[in-house]
Structure 1
Amino acid sequence: MFASLLAQEDAAIDLVGAALLIAKLAYPEVDIACYQSQLDALARRVRGILGLSPIPPLDAMLTSPEREPHEFLQALNQVIFAEEGFCGNSGDYNNPDNNYLNKVLDNRAGIPITLSLVYIEVARRAGLFIEGIGLPYHFIARCQYGEETYYIDAFHQGRLLSEQECIELVRRIAHRPLKLHHHWFEPVPRKQMLGRMLNNLKRIYLERDAYEPALAIYELMVLLHPQSAVHRRERGLLHLQLKHYGRALHDLMAYRELAPEAKDRYEVLNYIKMIRQAIAMMN
Protein backbone atom coordinates (compact mmCIF):
# COMPACT_ATOMS: atom_id res chain seq x y z
CA MET A 1 0.00 0.00 0.00
CA PHE A 2 2.89 2.36 0.75
CA ALA A 3 4.22 1.74 -2.76
CA SER A 4 0.84 2.52 -4.35
CA LEU A 5 0.69 5.85 -2.52
CA LEU A 6 4.18 6.72 -3.75
CA ALA A 7 3.25 5.88 -7.35
CA GLN A 8 1.19 9.07 -7.58
CA GLU A 9 2.42 12.53 -8.51
CA ASP A 10 4.15 14.05 -5.50
CA ALA A 11 1.50 16.71 -4.89
CA ALA A 12 -1.23 14.04 -4.91
CA ILE A 13 0.39 11.82 -2.27
CA ASP A 14 -1.75 11.40 0.85
CA LEU A 15 0.85 12.61 3.31
CA VAL A 16 -1.15 11.64 6.39
CA GLY A 17 -1.99 8.21 4.99
CA ALA A 18 1.66 7.56 4.14
CA ALA A 19 2.85 8.77 7.56
CA LEU A 20 0.35 6.48 9.28
CA LEU A 21 1.50 3.53 7.16
CA ILE A 22 5.00 4.23 8.51
CA ALA A 23 3.49 4.18 12.00
CA LYS A 24 1.99 0.76 11.32
CA LEU A 25 5.52 -0.69 11.41
CA ALA A 26 5.60 -0.09 15.15
CA TYR A 27 1.85 0.02 15.81
CA PRO A 28 0.11 -2.45 13.48
CA GLU A 29 -3.29 -1.70 15.02
CA VAL A 30 -3.28 1.94 13.86
CA ASP A 31 -6.68 2.96 12.50
CA ILE A 32 -5.82 5.30 9.65
CA ALA A 33 -9.37 6.54 9.16
CA CYS A 34 -9.66 7.41 12.85
CA TYR A 35 -6.58 9.63 12.79
CA GLN A 36 -7.64 11.22 9.52
CA SER A 37 -10.93 12.09 11.23
CA GLN A 38 -9.08 13.69 14.14
CA LEU A 39 -7.35 16.08 11.74
CA ASP A 40 -10.66 16.80 10.01
CA ALA A 41 -12.20 17.68 13.39
CA LEU A 42 -9.35 20.07 14.24
CA ALA A 43 -9.81 21.80 10.88
CA ARG A 44 -13.54 22.24 11.48
CA ARG A 45 -12.75 23.93 14.78
CA VAL A 46 -10.35 26.30 13.02
CA ARG A 47 -13.05 27.21 10.52
CA GLY A 48 -15.53 27.65 13.37
CA ILE A 49 -13.29 30.24 15.04
CA LEU A 50 -13.14 32.10 11.73
CA GLY A 51 -16.93 31.95 11.33
CA LEU A 52 -16.69 29.81 8.19
CA SER A 53 -18.76 26.85 7.07
CA PRO A 54 -17.37 23.46 8.23
CA ILE A 55 -16.20 22.43 4.74
CA PRO A 56 -13.99 24.74 2.66
CA PRO A 57 -14.84 25.39 -1.01
CA LEU A 58 -12.98 23.13 -3.42
CA ASP A 59 -10.93 26.02 -4.80
CA ALA A 60 -10.18 27.65 -1.42
CA MET A 61 -6.47 26.91 -1.62
CA LEU A 62 -6.18 27.40 -5.38
CA THR A 63 -7.18 31.07 -5.41
CA SER A 64 -6.99 32.87 -2.07
CA PRO A 65 -8.06 31.87 1.45
CA GLU A 66 -11.48 32.93 2.70
CA ARG A 67 -9.84 34.99 5.44
CA GLU A 68 -6.53 36.81 5.65
CA PRO A 69 -3.65 34.33 6.10
CA HIS A 70 -2.66 35.82 9.47
CA GLU A 71 -6.23 35.25 10.71
CA PHE A 72 -6.03 31.61 9.66
CA LEU A 73 -2.66 31.23 11.39
CA GLN A 74 -4.02 32.74 14.60
CA ALA A 75 -6.95 30.30 14.52
CA LEU A 76 -4.65 27.35 13.79
CA ASN A 77 -2.39 28.30 16.69
CA GLN A 78 -5.36 28.67 19.00
CA VAL A 79 -6.75 25.21 18.21
CA ILE A 80 -3.52 23.24 17.83
CA PHE A 81 -1.40 24.78 20.57
CA ALA A 82 -3.55 26.79 22.98
CA GLU A 83 -6.52 24.42 23.14
CA GLU A 84 -5.05 21.02 22.22
CA GLY A 85 -1.66 21.57 23.82
CA PHE A 86 0.59 20.27 21.02
CA CYS A 87 4.22 21.00 21.84
CA GLY A 88 7.78 20.09 21.00
CA ASN A 89 9.05 17.05 22.89
CA SER A 90 12.40 18.57 23.78
CA GLY A 91 12.76 16.39 26.90
CA ASP A 92 12.63 13.11 24.95
CA TYR A 93 13.57 14.26 21.48
CA ASN A 94 15.02 10.96 20.21
CA ASN A 95 12.05 8.84 21.19
CA PRO A 96 10.94 7.03 18.01
CA ASP A 97 7.32 7.88 18.85
CA ASN A 98 8.05 11.49 17.91
CA ASN A 99 8.24 10.30 14.29
CA TYR A 100 5.08 8.21 14.34
CA LEU A 101 2.10 10.38 13.50
CA ASN A 102 -0.38 8.33 15.55
CA LYS A 103 1.69 8.83 18.71
CA VAL A 104 2.17 12.52 17.98
CA LEU A 105 -1.61 12.88 17.78
CA ASP A 106 -2.11 10.72 20.89
CA ASN A 107 0.55 12.42 23.02
CA ARG A 108 0.21 15.93 21.59
CA ALA A 109 4.01 16.04 21.35
CA GLY A 110 6.54 15.54 18.59
CA ILE A 111 9.55 16.91 16.77
CA PRO A 112 9.63 19.74 14.20
CA ILE A 113 8.81 17.64 11.15
CA THR A 114 5.85 15.75 12.60
CA LEU A 115 4.38 18.82 14.30
CA SER A 116 4.79 20.68 11.00
CA LEU A 117 2.99 17.82 9.27
CA VAL A 118 0.07 18.17 11.69
CA TYR A 119 0.02 21.92 11.13
CA ILE A 120 0.18 21.63 7.34
CA GLU A 121 -2.56 19.02 7.18
CA VAL A 122 -4.96 20.77 9.56
CA ALA A 123 -4.41 23.97 7.58
CA ARG A 124 -5.08 22.19 4.29
CA ARG A 125 -8.33 20.74 5.58
CA ALA A 126 -9.31 24.18 6.86
CA GLY A 127 -8.68 25.77 3.45
CA LEU A 128 -5.18 27.27 3.80
CA PHE A 129 -2.22 26.10 1.73
CA ILE A 130 0.98 25.69 3.75
CA GLU A 131 4.25 24.10 2.64
CA GLY A 132 7.02 22.29 4.47
CA ILE A 133 10.45 23.96 4.61
CA GLY A 134 13.37 21.68 5.43
CA LEU A 135 15.81 23.94 7.23
CA PRO A 136 18.96 22.15 8.40
CA TYR A 137 18.34 20.65 11.85
CA HIS A 138 14.84 22.11 12.14
CA PHE A 139 11.79 21.58 9.93
CA ILE A 140 9.28 24.45 9.70
CA ALA A 141 6.25 25.43 7.63
CA ARG A 142 5.62 28.37 5.31
CA CYS A 143 2.47 30.22 4.35
CA GLN A 144 2.89 32.41 1.29
CA TYR A 145 0.19 34.50 -0.40
CA GLY A 146 1.06 37.40 -2.64
CA GLU A 147 3.52 39.67 -0.90
CA GLU A 148 3.04 37.99 2.48
CA THR A 149 5.31 35.20 3.71
CA TYR A 150 5.02 33.64 7.14
CA TYR A 151 7.44 31.04 8.50
CA ILE A 152 5.85 28.91 11.22
CA ASP A 153 7.79 27.03 13.89
CA ALA A 154 5.37 24.31 14.98
CA PHE A 155 7.90 22.93 17.48
CA HIS A 156 7.59 26.18 19.43
CA GLN A 157 3.80 26.59 19.51
CA GLY A 158 3.49 28.04 16.03
CA ARG A 159 5.62 31.13 16.55
CA LEU A 160 6.04 33.21 13.41
CA LEU A 161 9.57 33.83 12.13
CA SER A 162 11.18 36.08 9.57
CA GLU A 163 13.72 34.63 7.15
CA GLN A 164 16.52 36.17 9.20
CA GLU A 165 15.12 34.62 12.39
CA CYS A 166 15.07 31.23 10.62
CA ILE A 167 18.75 31.62 9.78
CA GLU A 168 19.58 32.59 13.36
CA LEU A 169 17.61 29.58 14.63
CA VAL A 170 19.63 27.20 12.45
CA ARG A 171 22.91 28.77 13.58
CA ARG A 172 21.92 28.44 17.25
CA ILE A 173 21.07 24.77 16.83
CA ALA A 174 24.28 24.10 14.89
CA HIS A 175 26.38 25.95 17.52
CA ARG A 176 28.48 27.43 14.75
CA PRO A 177 28.23 30.01 11.99
CA LEU A 178 26.71 28.63 8.82
CA LYS A 179 26.67 30.09 5.34
CA LEU A 180 23.15 30.79 4.11
CA HIS A 181 21.93 28.62 1.23
CA HIS A 182 18.79 29.84 -0.48
CA HIS A 183 17.64 26.30 -1.19
CA TRP A 184 16.97 25.98 2.55
CA PHE A 185 13.79 27.95 1.91
CA GLU A 186 12.52 25.92 -1.02
CA PRO A 187 9.33 23.88 -0.39
CA VAL A 188 9.98 20.25 0.46
CA PRO A 189 8.25 17.67 -1.77
CA ARG A 190 6.06 15.16 0.03
CA LYS A 191 8.33 12.22 -0.77
CA GLN A 192 11.28 14.11 0.65
CA MET A 193 9.31 14.87 3.81
CA LEU A 194 8.50 11.18 4.25
CA GLY A 195 12.14 10.35 3.58
CA ARG A 196 13.27 12.73 6.31
CA MET A 197 10.94 11.03 8.81
CA LEU A 198 12.22 7.60 7.78
CA ASN A 199 15.82 8.77 8.04
CA ASN A 200 15.15 9.98 11.59
CA LEU A 201 13.79 6.58 12.56
CA LYS A 202 16.63 4.72 10.86
CA ARG A 203 19.20 6.76 12.78
CA ILE A 204 17.45 6.26 16.12
CA TYR A 205 17.11 2.50 15.70
CA LEU A 206 20.67 2.00 14.48
CA GLU A 207 22.04 4.03 17.40
CA ARG A 208 20.16 1.63 19.69
CA ASP A 209 21.33 -1.47 17.79
CA ALA A 210 17.65 -2.20 17.16
CA TYR A 211 18.28 -3.93 13.86
CA GLU A 212 14.87 -5.47 13.20
CA PRO A 213 12.98 -2.15 13.49
CA ALA A 214 15.73 -0.48 11.45
CA LEU A 215 15.31 -3.08 8.72
CA ALA A 216 11.57 -2.39 8.55
CA ILE A 217 12.40 1.28 8.03
CA TYR A 218 14.88 0.42 5.29
CA GLU A 219 12.20 -1.56 3.46
CA LEU A 220 10.16 1.65 3.12
CA MET A 221 13.23 3.73 2.27
CA VAL A 222 13.97 1.43 -0.67
CA LEU A 223 10.33 1.69 -1.80
CA LEU A 224 10.61 5.47 -1.57
CA HIS A 225 13.92 5.59 -3.49
CA PRO A 226 14.21 2.33 -5.48
CA GLN A 227 17.19 3.61 -7.46
CA SER A 228 19.19 4.67 -4.42
CA ALA A 229 22.41 2.66 -4.39
CA VAL A 230 23.22 3.78 -0.85
CA HIS A 231 19.95 2.45 0.56
CA ARG A 232 20.51 -0.90 -1.15
CA ARG A 233 24.00 -1.14 0.29
CA GLU A 234 22.91 -0.19 3.79
CA ARG A 235 19.95 -2.57 3.75
CA GLY A 236 22.21 -5.34 2.45
CA LEU A 237 24.69 -4.86 5.27
CA LEU A 238 21.85 -4.84 7.78
CA HIS A 239 20.57 -8.12 6.34
CA LEU A 240 24.10 -9.46 6.70
CA GLN A 241 24.20 -8.32 10.34
CA LEU A 242 21.00 -10.31 10.89
CA LYS A 243 22.37 -13.32 8.95
CA HIS A 244 19.78 -12.99 6.19
CA TYR A 245 22.37 -14.13 3.68
CA GLY A 246 20.17 -14.50 0.62
CA ARG A 247 18.61 -11.05 1.00
CA ALA A 248 21.99 -9.51 1.82
CA LEU A 249 23.43 -10.99 -1.37
CA HIS A 250 20.51 -9.69 -3.42
CA ASP A 251 20.90 -6.13 -2.10
CA LEU A 252 24.67 -5.99 -2.44
CA MET A 253 24.49 -7.33 -6.00
CA ALA A 254 21.89 -4.64 -6.75
CA TYR A 255 24.23 -2.05 -5.23
CA ARG A 256 27.01 -3.14 -7.59
CA GLU A 257 24.68 -2.70 -10.56
CA LEU A 258 23.46 0.70 -9.41
CA ALA A 259 26.95 1.99 -8.52
CA PRO A 260 29.51 -0.02 -10.53
CA GLU A 261 32.26 2.57 -9.95
CA ALA A 262 31.63 3.12 -6.24
CA LYS A 263 34.71 3.74 -4.13
CA ASP A 264 33.84 0.80 -1.89
CA ARG A 265 33.17 -1.65 -4.75
CA TYR A 266 36.04 -3.96 -3.74
CA GLU A 267 34.91 -3.98 -0.13
CA VAL A 268 31.40 -4.91 -1.29
CA LEU A 269 32.84 -7.65 -3.51
CA ASN A 270 34.51 -9.11 -0.43
CA TYR A 271 31.17 -9.07 1.39
CA ILE A 272 29.56 -10.85 -1.55
CA LYS A 273 32.30 -13.48 -1.57
CA MET A 274 31.91 -14.01 2.17
CA ILE A 275 28.12 -14.33 1.86
CA ARG A 276 28.41 -16.89 -0.94
CA GLN A 277 30.79 -18.94 1.19
CA ALA A 278 28.36 -18.79 4.13
CA ILE A 279 25.47 -19.90 1.89
CA ALA A 280 27.56 -22.77 0.46
CA MET A 281 28.37 -24.01 3.96
CA MET A 282 24.68 -24.09 4.83
CA ASN A 283 23.78 -26.31 1.84
Structure 2
Amino acid sequence: MDPTIQSILDRAGAQPDDAIDLAEAALALAALDRPRGVGFDWYRRHLDQLTGDVTREAERVTPAEALTAVLARRWGYAGDVDSYDDLQNANLMRVIDRRKGLPVTLGILYLHVARAQGWTMVGLNFPSHFLVRLDAGGARTILDPFHAGMNRGPGELRDLLKAVLDAGAELMPEHYEPVSDRDILLRLQNNLKVRHIRAGDFGKALAVIEAMRRFAPLHAPLLREAGILYARLGNMRAAIDALDRYVSAPGEPETQRHEAAILLQSFRTSLN
Protein backbone atom coordinates (compact mmCIF):
# COMPACT_ATOMS: atom_id res chain seq x y z
CA MET A 1 0.00 0.00 0.00
CA ASP A 2 1.24 3.47 -0.87
CA PRO A 3 2.65 5.15 2.27
CA THR A 4 0.52 8.28 1.80
CA ILE A 5 -2.68 6.25 1.54
CA GLN A 6 -1.69 4.09 4.49
CA SER A 7 -0.96 7.16 6.60
CA ILE A 8 -4.37 8.71 5.85
CA LEU A 9 -6.26 5.51 6.64
CA ASP A 10 -4.25 4.75 9.77
CA ARG A 11 -4.82 8.30 11.01
CA ALA A 12 -8.57 7.88 10.49
CA GLY A 13 -8.40 4.60 12.38
CA ALA A 14 -6.77 6.28 15.36
CA GLN A 15 -9.18 9.24 15.44
CA PRO A 16 -12.60 9.47 17.10
CA ASP A 17 -15.50 9.31 14.65
CA ASP A 18 -16.17 13.04 14.71
CA ALA A 19 -12.55 13.92 13.87
CA ILE A 20 -12.27 11.89 10.65
CA ASP A 21 -11.78 13.87 7.45
CA LEU A 22 -14.44 12.01 5.50
CA ALA A 23 -13.61 13.22 2.00
CA GLU A 24 -9.85 12.81 2.49
CA ALA A 25 -10.30 9.23 3.70
CA ALA A 26 -12.64 8.48 0.79
CA LEU A 27 -10.07 9.86 -1.65
CA ALA A 28 -7.40 7.64 -0.08
CA LEU A 29 -9.63 4.59 -0.50
CA ALA A 30 -10.35 5.61 -4.08
CA ALA A 31 -6.62 5.89 -4.81
CA LEU A 32 -6.19 2.20 -3.94
CA ASP A 33 -8.00 1.33 -7.18
CA ARG A 34 -6.33 3.98 -9.34
CA PRO A 35 -3.01 3.77 -11.19
CA ARG A 36 -0.08 4.24 -8.85
CA GLY A 37 0.96 7.87 -8.68
CA VAL A 38 -2.49 9.37 -9.23
CA GLY A 39 -2.40 12.47 -7.05
CA PHE A 40 -4.91 13.91 -4.65
CA ASP A 41 -4.30 17.58 -5.40
CA TRP A 42 -6.65 17.97 -8.37
CA TYR A 43 -9.48 16.31 -6.46
CA ARG A 44 -8.84 18.43 -3.38
CA ARG A 45 -8.95 21.56 -5.54
CA HIS A 46 -12.25 20.43 -7.02
CA LEU A 47 -13.70 19.98 -3.53
CA ASP A 48 -12.51 23.48 -2.69
CA GLN A 49 -14.17 24.79 -5.84
CA LEU A 50 -17.46 23.12 -4.94
CA THR A 51 -17.21 24.63 -1.47
CA GLY A 52 -16.58 28.12 -2.83
CA ASP A 53 -19.42 27.85 -5.33
CA VAL A 54 -21.85 26.85 -2.58
CA THR A 55 -20.64 29.68 -0.34
CA ARG A 56 -21.45 32.21 -3.05
CA GLU A 57 -24.77 30.56 -3.97
CA ALA A 58 -25.86 30.56 -0.32
CA GLU A 59 -25.74 34.36 -0.28
CA ARG A 60 -29.01 34.43 -2.22
CA VAL A 61 -30.80 31.11 -1.56
CA THR A 62 -31.29 28.69 1.33
CA PRO A 63 -28.49 26.27 2.26
CA ALA A 64 -30.36 23.28 0.83
CA GLU A 65 -31.06 25.13 -2.40
CA ALA A 66 -27.42 26.21 -2.65
CA LEU A 67 -26.19 22.63 -2.35
CA THR A 68 -28.51 21.25 -5.00
CA ALA A 69 -28.01 24.23 -7.31
CA VAL A 70 -24.24 23.78 -7.30
CA LEU A 71 -23.69 20.04 -6.99
CA ALA A 72 -26.65 18.72 -8.95
CA ARG A 73 -27.43 21.44 -11.49
CA ARG A 74 -24.18 23.35 -12.06
CA TRP A 75 -21.79 20.41 -11.79
CA GLY A 76 -24.21 17.66 -12.79
CA TYR A 77 -23.66 15.24 -9.92
CA ALA A 78 -26.34 12.54 -9.98
CA GLY A 79 -26.87 8.85 -9.47
CA ASP A 80 -25.69 6.37 -12.07
CA VAL A 81 -29.02 4.81 -12.98
CA ASP A 82 -27.70 3.11 -16.13
CA SER A 83 -24.80 1.17 -14.57
CA TYR A 84 -25.51 1.23 -10.84
CA ASP A 85 -23.24 -1.72 -10.02
CA ASP A 86 -20.21 -0.30 -11.84
CA LEU A 87 -17.29 -0.36 -9.39
CA GLN A 88 -16.40 3.19 -10.40
CA ASN A 89 -19.55 4.41 -8.64
CA ALA A 90 -18.02 3.57 -5.25
CA ASN A 91 -14.73 5.32 -6.02
CA LEU A 92 -14.79 9.01 -5.08
CA MET A 93 -12.10 9.95 -7.60
CA ARG A 94 -13.99 8.32 -10.46
CA VAL A 95 -17.26 9.82 -9.25
CA ILE A 96 -15.67 13.26 -9.45
CA ASP A 97 -14.28 12.42 -12.91
CA ARG A 98 -17.62 11.10 -14.20
CA ARG A 99 -20.05 13.23 -12.14
CA LYS A 100 -22.12 10.17 -11.23
CA GLY A 101 -22.03 7.49 -8.59
CA LEU A 102 -23.74 5.63 -5.76
CA PRO A 103 -25.87 7.39 -3.14
CA VAL A 104 -23.18 7.08 -0.47
CA THR A 105 -20.35 8.37 -2.68
CA LEU A 106 -22.39 11.36 -3.78
CA GLY A 107 -23.45 11.84 -0.17
CA ILE A 108 -19.82 12.24 0.87
CA LEU A 109 -19.56 15.21 -1.49
CA TYR A 110 -22.66 16.81 0.03
CA LEU A 111 -21.37 16.17 3.55
CA HIS A 112 -17.96 17.66 2.83
CA VAL A 113 -19.25 20.79 1.13
CA ALA A 114 -22.03 21.44 3.67
CA ARG A 115 -19.73 21.05 6.65
CA ALA A 116 -17.17 23.34 5.03
CA GLN A 117 -19.85 26.07 5.23
CA GLY A 118 -20.21 25.46 8.97
CA TRP A 119 -23.58 23.79 8.46
CA THR A 120 -24.60 20.66 10.35
CA MET A 121 -25.08 17.65 8.09
CA VAL A 122 -25.13 13.93 8.89
CA GLY A 123 -25.70 10.72 6.99
CA LEU A 124 -28.83 8.81 7.97
CA ASN A 125 -29.37 5.18 8.89
CA PHE A 126 -31.83 4.75 6.03
CA PRO A 127 -31.70 1.21 4.58
CA SER A 128 -30.37 0.47 1.09
CA HIS A 129 -30.27 4.12 -0.01
CA PHE A 130 -27.97 6.72 1.54
CA LEU A 131 -29.56 10.04 2.51
CA VAL A 132 -28.22 13.12 4.29
CA ARG A 133 -29.88 15.48 6.75
CA LEU A 134 -29.05 19.18 6.73
CA ASP A 135 -29.66 21.45 9.71
CA ALA A 136 -28.96 25.01 8.59
CA GLY A 137 -30.66 28.35 8.17
CA GLY A 138 -33.27 27.44 10.77
CA ALA A 139 -34.51 24.47 8.73
CA ARG A 140 -34.05 20.70 8.79
CA THR A 141 -34.01 19.05 5.37
CA ILE A 142 -33.41 15.48 4.20
CA LEU A 143 -31.69 15.41 0.83
CA ASP A 144 -31.25 12.57 -1.66
CA PRO A 145 -27.87 13.02 -3.39
CA PHE A 146 -28.60 10.21 -5.86
CA HIS A 147 -31.67 12.01 -7.15
CA ALA A 148 -30.16 15.45 -7.73
CA GLY A 149 -30.38 16.49 -4.08
CA MET A 150 -34.16 16.03 -3.96
CA ASN A 151 -35.79 17.18 -0.72
CA ARG A 152 -37.38 14.05 0.78
CA GLY A 153 -40.39 14.70 3.00
CA PRO A 154 -42.15 11.98 5.03
CA GLY A 155 -44.30 10.89 2.09
CA GLU A 156 -41.36 10.61 -0.27
CA LEU A 157 -39.31 8.77 2.36
CA ARG A 158 -42.11 6.25 2.88
CA ASP A 159 -42.38 5.65 -0.88
CA LEU A 160 -38.60 5.32 -1.17
CA LEU A 161 -38.46 2.82 1.70
CA LYS A 162 -41.10 0.64 0.05
CA ALA A 163 -39.21 0.84 -3.24
CA VAL A 164 -35.86 -0.26 -1.79
CA LEU A 165 -37.24 -2.85 0.67
CA ASP A 166 -40.80 -4.07 0.04
CA ALA A 167 -44.37 -2.83 -0.07
CA GLY A 168 -44.94 -3.68 3.58
CA ALA A 169 -42.03 -1.62 4.92
CA GLU A 170 -42.82 1.34 7.14
CA LEU A 171 -40.69 4.19 8.40
CA MET A 172 -39.20 3.60 11.83
CA PRO A 173 -37.44 6.04 14.20
CA GLU A 174 -34.09 4.33 13.57
CA HIS A 175 -34.28 5.27 9.89
CA TYR A 176 -33.78 8.90 10.96
CA GLU A 177 -30.82 8.14 13.23
CA PRO A 178 -27.45 9.64 12.22
CA VAL A 179 -24.55 7.37 11.34
CA SER A 180 -20.91 8.08 12.10
CA ASP A 181 -18.45 9.05 9.39
CA ARG A 182 -16.58 5.79 10.04
CA ASP A 183 -19.80 3.89 9.33
CA ILE A 184 -20.23 5.90 6.13
CA LEU A 185 -16.78 4.78 4.98
CA LEU A 186 -17.64 1.18 5.90
CA ARG A 187 -20.86 1.47 3.90
CA LEU A 188 -18.91 2.87 0.95
CA GLN A 189 -16.38 0.04 0.95
CA ASN A 190 -19.00 -2.63 1.54
CA ASN A 191 -20.26 -1.83 -1.95
CA LEU A 192 -16.89 -2.82 -3.39
CA LYS A 193 -16.50 -5.86 -1.16
CA VAL A 194 -19.91 -7.28 -2.07
CA ARG A 195 -19.39 -6.75 -5.79
CA HIS A 196 -15.97 -8.46 -5.71
CA ILE A 197 -17.41 -11.43 -3.81
CA ARG A 198 -20.28 -11.72 -6.28
CA ALA A 199 -17.71 -11.80 -9.08
CA GLY A 200 -15.73 -14.51 -7.28
CA ASP A 201 -12.70 -12.25 -6.89
CA PHE A 202 -11.91 -13.09 -3.27
CA GLY A 203 -8.44 -11.56 -3.43
CA LYS A 204 -9.82 -8.12 -4.27
CA ALA A 205 -12.56 -8.50 -1.67
CA LEU A 206 -9.93 -9.32 0.96
CA ALA A 207 -7.86 -6.28 -0.07
CA VAL A 208 -10.94 -4.10 0.47
CA ILE A 209 -11.47 -5.59 3.93
CA GLU A 210 -7.83 -5.10 4.91
CA ALA A 211 -8.11 -1.42 3.92
CA MET A 212 -11.31 -1.16 5.97
CA ARG A 213 -9.49 -2.58 8.99
CA ARG A 214 -7.07 0.35 8.82
CA PHE A 215 -9.73 3.02 9.32
CA ALA A 216 -12.00 0.82 11.48
CA PRO A 217 -9.59 -1.30 13.55
CA LEU A 218 -12.17 -1.94 16.29
CA HIS A 219 -14.88 -3.16 13.89
CA ALA A 220 -14.63 -6.85 14.78
CA PRO A 221 -16.89 -8.26 12.00
CA LEU A 222 -14.10 -7.40 9.56
CA LEU A 223 -11.94 -10.03 11.27
CA ARG A 224 -14.59 -12.68 10.68
CA GLU A 225 -14.98 -11.68 7.05
CA ALA A 226 -11.21 -11.61 6.55
CA GLY A 227 -10.88 -15.06 8.10
CA ILE A 228 -13.46 -16.56 5.75
CA LEU A 229 -11.81 -14.99 2.71
CA TYR A 230 -8.32 -16.04 3.76
CA ALA A 231 -9.66 -19.59 3.95
CA ARG A 232 -11.23 -19.32 0.49
CA LEU A 233 -7.81 -18.26 -0.79
CA GLY A 234 -6.07 -21.17 0.93
CA ASN A 235 -4.20 -19.14 3.55
CA MET A 236 -5.35 -21.16 6.54
CA ARG A 237 -2.91 -19.73 9.06
CA ALA A 238 -4.08 -16.18 8.33
CA ALA A 239 -7.69 -17.40 8.47
CA ILE A 240 -7.10 -18.97 11.89
CA ASP A 241 -5.42 -15.84 13.22
CA ALA A 242 -8.28 -13.58 12.05
CA LEU A 243 -11.03 -15.83 13.39
CA ASP A 244 -9.22 -16.36 16.69
CA ARG A 245 -9.09 -12.59 17.16
CA TYR A 246 -12.76 -12.30 16.22
CA VAL A 247 -13.87 -14.94 18.72
CA SER A 248 -11.94 -13.07 21.42
CA ALA A 249 -13.37 -9.65 20.52
CA PRO A 250 -15.82 -8.18 23.05
CA GLY A 251 -19.42 -7.35 22.29
CA GLU A 252 -20.04 -9.58 19.28
CA PRO A 253 -23.35 -11.48 18.94
CA GLU A 254 -23.14 -14.90 20.56
CA THR A 255 -24.57 -16.68 17.52
CA GLN A 256 -21.92 -15.28 15.18
CA ARG A 257 -19.19 -15.88 17.74
CA HIS A 258 -20.30 -19.53 18.06
CA GLU A 259 -20.35 -20.01 14.28
CA ALA A 260 -16.89 -18.47 14.00
CA ALA A 261 -15.60 -20.77 16.75
CA ILE A 262 -16.86 -23.82 14.84
CA LEU A 263 -15.12 -22.58 11.68
CA LEU A 264 -11.98 -21.86 13.64
CA GLN A 265 -11.88 -25.40 15.02
CA SER A 266 -12.41 -26.90 11.57
CA PHE A 267 -9.58 -24.78 10.14
CA ARG A 268 -7.25 -25.85 12.94
CA THR A 269 -8.15 -29.49 12.35
CA SER A 270 -7.37 -29.12 8.65
CA LEU A 271 -3.79 -28.15 9.51
CA ASN A 272 -3.18 -31.18 11.72
TM-score range, shorter chain: 0.7 to 0.9
Name 1:4's counterpart in structure 2. 11
Task: Report the equivalent of 2:4.
Answer: none
Larger Rg: 1
Match for residue 16 of structure 1 among 20, 23, 34: 23
Structure 2 CA distance for aligned equivalents of residues 50 and 263 of structure 1: 54
CA offset digits 1:172-198 (Å, max 9, x no partner): 222321133201111111111111112
Question: Residue 193 in 1 paired to residue 184 in 2?
Answer: yes
Does the alignment pair 1:94 with 2:85? yes
Moved beyond 4 Å, runs of 4+: none
Q: Is the contact between residue 40 and residue 125 of structure 1 (CA under 8 Å) also seen in structure 2?
A: no
TM-score scaled by length of structure 1: 0.84
**Please, which runs of 5 or more residues in structure 2 have no aligned partner?**
1-6
CA offset digits 1:67-102 (Å, max 9, x no partner): 7xx622222212211121111001111111111110
Cα deviation for residue 141 of structure 1 reads 0.9
TM-score (norm 2): 0.87
Q: Is the 8 A contact 2:158 2:170 kept in 1?
A: no
User: Which residue identity lines up with residue 201 of structure 1 in the other structure?
Assistant: L
Match of 2:165 in 1: 174
Comparing 128-137 with 198-207, greater Cα deviation is found at 128-137
Matched, 1:273 2:269: yes
Q: Which moved more, 1:89-98 or 1:159-168?
A: 159-168
Query: Is the partner of 1:91 in helix, strand or coil?
Result: coil
Structure 1: gaps of 5 or more residues: 52-66, 278-283
- Conserved 8 A contact 2:122-2:134: yes
Give, in whole Å, the separation in 2 of the partners of 1:6 and 1:162: 35
Identical counterparts, % of pairs: 30
Contact 2:240 2:264 in 1 (8 A): no
Q: What is the aligned residue count?
A: 259
Distance 1:122 1:188, change over 3 A: same
Distance 1:260 1:9 in 2: 24
User: 1:229 touches 1:255 (CA, 8 Å); kept in 2?
Assistant: yes
Query: 1:92 aligns to what SS in structure 2?
Result: coil
1:224-235 alignment, distance < 5 Å: 224-235=215-226
Match of 1:206 in 2: 197
Q: Give the whole-Å Cα distance in 2 for the aligned partners of 1:48 and 1:145.
A: 16
RMSD: 2.1
Q: Which of 104, 125, 142 lines up with 2:95 in the alignment?
A: 104
